[in-house]
Amino acid sequence: MQSVGIYEAKSRFSALIELVEQGEEVRITRHGKEVVRLLPVRRRPVITDEQIARELGQIDALHASIRPAAEAASPDTLRRKGRAAA
């Protein structure tokens, strides 16, 4: 990340745009306070690898808790349910 004042940004605008195109974030300040943030159109993902791993773990746990469809609808299972009801 690069931070520049407004005056410097005006004189180096093309160079700053090139930095942003390369993935750099540029902040423009006025009297030391940020007023503009230049970001590349294609940003790095907002979600972290740890968050992805946690979500995938939760999906795996859900899959493990659900019986496979083949087991739930097998002929033996249907026969057992029929006998229990009779």
Compare 55 and 76 and report the one with higher pLDDT: 55
Residue 65 lies in a domain: yes
Residue 10 lies in a domain: yes
Residue 81 lies in a domain: no
Residue 83 lies in a domain: no
Structural domain for 18, as ranges: 1-70
| Model pLDDT for residues 32-74, shown as the tens digit of each residue | 999 999 998 876 667 888 999 999 999 999 988 887 666 656 6
Average pLDDT, the chain: 84
What is the CATH classification number for the domain harbouring 56? 3.40.1620.10
Residue 14 lies in a domain: yes
User: Is this structure's pTM higher than 0.95?
Assistant: no
40 conformational bin, left if phi > 0, alpha if psi -120 to 50, beta if neither: beta
Is residue 85 pLDDT above 60, yes or no? Answer: no
Q: What percent of the chain has pLDDT over 90?
A: 57
